[in-house]
Structure 1
Amino acid sequence: MTPSQRVRAGLEAGFAKLSEVDDFMDELPQTPPRPLDNDGDEERLGDVTVTHRFTDAPGDGETVRWHYVEAGPPDGPVVVFLHGVPDSWWQWHYALEAFGSEYRCLAIDLKGYGQSEKGTGDFRQEGVAVQLEALLEQLQIERFSLITHDRGTPAGDHLVALMGDRVLRYGRGQQHLWHLSPDLHPQQAMFTSPDAPSMLADAGRFVATAYLLLTERRVKASDLARTVQEFSYEGISTAVRRYFNSSSFRQEWIERRTRLIPRWKCPVLLLQGADDPLQPREFYTDPDVLAELPQGSGVHLFDSGHFWPFEVPEEMITVLRDFLK
């Protein structure tokens, strides 16, 4: 699908912001390294206490060590959250605070990110989904709702196809779906370039660039500072790019249309920022696209850019609360 003139103008305006990166970084607070957590460490988010967990689950021929943050009653309905680039479990802290007293919430650091496994192994989206299924089996999660954002979504697409009726609802966030244009995924070339490790190693600049380019609303400096810390752990700069060397946006697009979407069983709510320059809202409000999704599916356009979990947290909470009910 060819981007419209409106979309091309938005792209030009977005990339023009790159000249402001240095000034934007100067506004951010200092971000000293954050110590690694231990299993059982607790952290307070408003009125909710979350617990850091580490679990070894089958994968990569042996085991994969996962870090996730858990909140809520052990017998509550389960909601699993998967973040994107350049984020971590912290991307969902407003949701954990809002839902952690009613739902059992699991916000997972994807493999290669945060404090999860960063060794070599299977970084195909399908392979990571199989490993996520193994983690959920290890945790004895029978049925759950899934909420994703950005590059957590391709693994989520495979997970929903893989686990069938065990997924109750899929809040599918901020990722290409039925339509795709080569002009709208420059990340592919960026992450596979020889400069990618050094680019990713400068966590502060990388986070500042991503958020400056793709947001329409101001994000709290404290959220960006913690995002930088969580993206600074050793091994991330080499691990994250393995996803992009293991598949391509086009390959993911073909797999969705031919193999994955037909296997989705649950209602899917497309969660998109209305003003994301790389993901035009027209791609998601197309009636032909919604017709391909399971019965009860729909779309919500946030009044924001790409990073709606931080740009419009109140709107996100309202939308997710209605969807989860």
Structure 2
Amino acid sequence: MTDPATDVRNAGKGNPVGELPLRDLPGFAHRWVDADGVRLHVVEGGLPTGPTVVLLAGFPQTWWSWHEVMRGLAGRFHVLAVDLPGQGHSERPEGSYDTHTVAARVHAAVRALGTEAYWLAGHDIGAWVAFSLALAHESDLRGVALLDAGIPGITLPEAIPIDPERAWKTWHFAFHLVPDLPETLLAGREREYVGWFLKAKTLAPETFNDDELDHYAASVAADGGLRASLAYYRDAAESARRNHEALRRRHLALPVLGISSSHGSIPDMAASLSPWAPHATGVVVPDAGHFIPDEQPAAVTAALTAFFADGA
């Protein structure tokens, strides 16, 4: 039987995005896992015998968005940060990017690494996937934390506001849905586009240094990255449909933590989730915009650690 995962020593064989430089984090190793025929990149570390925590990043980032939180969790937990399909060093497959399809691949990757039950946390599009994964695989999860995300069909507003004071937070949902135009306008300008999101949606624009801006822009620009990034939005209606189809059968019974921020997109994640997750509780992180794990990693680490401990 062959090992389903490839470590960094065999990165040339397993890494489907070899042109994108790897970012290393002391105490963590790069793995590539075959997940339903798609190679996913997983960064693994922490306490091998501890409870497993799986972390999912959103647009326009990669696993690196969690790196400070990963350091904070490593002393008590076995940590797996997964690049979603089309993100970072994961494969950019053709086909659907609806969150149930992606969730099945993430779950397959986690199981391929030998994990049976785990805690799950997702930010932005990572939270979209985490919510759908919880609907499909609730019995395999200990609990799920969802950070500042307009989840399709759940916490995502039905209409995009035209008030300039609010429209800048969600305008891109409509833009990303337009066929071909985003690719035409953004190809070769990924650095400017990614930079706008990371600076405009943080409370402190200096949160991200130039090296990180370059990394995230390069991930989007790498072969198939822009197409995949847009596909999550273009398949959002299907994600919403499948979410509601699952919720007609049952609501979530597992512990759910909604993490909002003082200057984020969704003022009260727990209240937005509560109609579908009766055990949802909430935390509001002060002095942060949308990119909470980057802006206030210590607060996010504390909130997650308390949530996991309470659930245990």
What is the TM-score with the length of structure 1 in the denominator? 0.76
CA distance in 1, matches of 2:56, 2:301: 16
CA contact 1:165–1:265 (8 Å) conserved in 2: no
Q: Which runs of 5+ in 2 are unaligned?
A: 1-9, 16-20, 162-169
CA distance in 2, matches of 1:207, 1:42: 19
Map 1:283-322; keep pairs closer than 5 Å.
283-284=268-269, 286=271, 290=274, 292-295=276-279, 297-303=280-286, 304-322=288-306
Q: Relative to 1, partners in 2 of residues 1:169 and 1:205: Cα closer, same or farther, differing over 3 Å? A: same
CA contact 1:43–1:50 (8 Å) conserved in 2: no
Map 1:1-325; keep pairs closer than 5 Å.
38=12, 45=25, 48-58=26-36, 63-176=37-150, 177-178=154-155, 180-183=157-160, 185-193=170-178, 194-198=180-184, 199=186, 201-218=188-205, 219-221=207-209, 222-248=211-237, 252-253=239-240, 255-256=242-243, 259-260=246-247, 262-276=250-264, 279-281=265-267, 283-284=268-269, 286=271, 290=274, 292-295=276-279, 297-303=280-286, 304-325=288-309
Deviation at 1:252, TM superposition (A): 4.4
CA distance in 1, matches of 2:93, 2:23: 27
**Partner in structure 2 of residue 20 of structure 1:** none
Deviation at 1:80, TM superposition (A): 0.3
Give secondary structure in 2 for the equivalent of 1:240: helix
Cα distance per residue 1:56-103 (max 9 Å; x no partner):
121xxxx10111111123322100001000000001101111112321
CA distance in 1, matches of 2:188, 2:100: 26
**Partner in structure 2 of residue 27 of structure 1:** none
Letter in 2 for 1:112: G
CA distance in 2, matches of 1:280, 1:225: 27
Deviation at 1:268, TM superposition (A): 0.5
Letter in 1 for 2:253: K
Q: Which runs of 5+ in 1 are unaligned?
A: 1-35
**Aligned-residue CA RMSD (Å):** 2.7
Identity of aligned residues (%): 22
Give secondary structure in 1 for the equivalent of 2:305: helix
Cα distance per residue 1:266-318 (max 9 Å; x no partner):
11000122212xx341x5364x85364233x2111122110011111121122
